[in-house]
């Protein structure tokens, strides 16, 4: 599997940061999974700078200039949209607006639930998220956006597509894309992750050896879309 250089770097970056781990885990939906992605483990300025660069590369690859505003759903989406906007300007000279929501609307000062750029009718909004398993956060986000202005949904970008069946029986990203009539993309897919890491040493450790690969294959056979 030949991957773009930024995808290879991103996969290794997730392992180095302890964001992508392999073992025994339970997903929010109750599935026992041999791998887990926790973007909450990004915790330094240098990591966020690099992470923003990977998002920027993927955004340029999939969406180019087909959007006006980046939106980060609270809470994990907030630093993601900020670092992506920063990296788009730093790497590509593309200066885009960003905004995010509060979990609870502010009842003083300027009020409202949105922070950052003021959304306007007709603007194309690209949602920046970490990982989408069932699409729940997107279904909560879209009414917030449409309640602020008559915006257009430019799409959704996440870090990893787990490629698992959602409630509708299709992949979560595919279901979200169909439901809201917008493209939904990822920096990398789980197949790309596993294909790249299988048998490869990262800091002298092979995180996806044959037994782990077999476990992942069994999990994907049961839950994969």
Q: Which residue out of 108, 118, 165, 213 is catalytically annotated? A: 108
Element (H, E) at 32: strand 32-37
* 36 pLDDT higher than 90: yes
What distance in Å separates the CA atoms of residue 153 and residue 139, rounded to the nearest whole number?
A: 12
CA angle in degrees (0–180, nearest 5) for 49-52-54: 115
Q: Which residue out of 16, 32, 91, 106 is catalytically annotated? A: 106
Q: pLDDT value at position 109?
A: 45
CA angle in degrees (0–180, nearest 5) for 76-78-81: 110
Q: pLDDT value at position 105?
A: 61
Among 98, 103, 104, which Cα is nearest to 118's?
98
Q: What is the mean pLDDT of residues 4-18?
A: 97
Q: Known catalytic residue: 106?
A: yes
Q: Which two tokens stand for residue 199?
A: 């048998």
Count other Cβ atoms within 10 Å, centred on residue 224: 15
Asked if 182 and 174 count as a contact pair (C-beta separation under 8 A), the reply is: no
When mean pLDDT is compared across 51-55, 73-77, 102-106, 173-177, the lowest value belongs to 102-106
CATH topology of domain 5-223: Rossmann fold (3.40.50)
Of residues 192 and 104, the one with the higher pLDDT is 192
Query: For every residue of 148-196, which 3-state class applies, written as one string?
Result: HCCCEEEEEEEEEECCEECCCCCEHHHHHHHHHCCCEEEEEEHHHHHHH
Q: Where are the domains of the chain?
A: 5-223
The pTM score is 0.93
Q: pLDDT value at position 208?
A: 98
Q: Known catalytic residue: 32?
A: no
- Convert the pLDDT of each residue in 108-158 to its tens digit: 445 468 999 999 999 999 999 998 766 778 888 999 999 999 999 999 999
The rounded mean pLDDT for the chain is 92
How distant, in Å, are the alpha carbons of 35, 162, 174 from that of 166?
Answer: 17, 10, 9
């Amino acid at each position: 599997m030949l991957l773009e250089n930024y995808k290879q770097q991103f996969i290794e970056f997730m392992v180095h940061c302890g964001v992508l781990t392999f073992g025994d885990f339970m997903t929010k939906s109750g599935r026992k999974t041999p791998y887990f992605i926790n973007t909450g483990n990004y915790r330094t300025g240098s990591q966020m700078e690099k992470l923003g660069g990977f998002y920027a590369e993927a955004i340029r690859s999939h969406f180019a200039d087909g959007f006006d505003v980046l939106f980060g759903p609270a809470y994990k989406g907030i630093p993601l949209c900020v670092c992506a906007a920063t990296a788009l300007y730093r790497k590509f000279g593309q200066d885009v607006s960003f905004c995010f929501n509060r979990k609870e609307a502010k009842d003083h000062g300027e009020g409202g639930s949105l922070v950052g750029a003021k959304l306007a009718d007709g603007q194309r909004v690209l949602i920046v998220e970490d990982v989408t398993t069932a699409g729940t956060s997107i279904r909560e986000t879209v009414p917030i956006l449409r309640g602020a202005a008559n915006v257009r949904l430019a799409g959704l970008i996440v870090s990893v597509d787990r490629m698992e069946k959602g409630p509708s029986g299709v992949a979560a990203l595919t279901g979200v894309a169909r439901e809201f009539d917008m493209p939904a993309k990822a920096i990398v897919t789980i197949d790309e992750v596993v294909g790249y890491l299988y048998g490869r040493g990262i800091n002298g450790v092979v995180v996806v050896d044959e037994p782990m690969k077999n476990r992942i294959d069994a999990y994907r056979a049961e839950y994969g879309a």
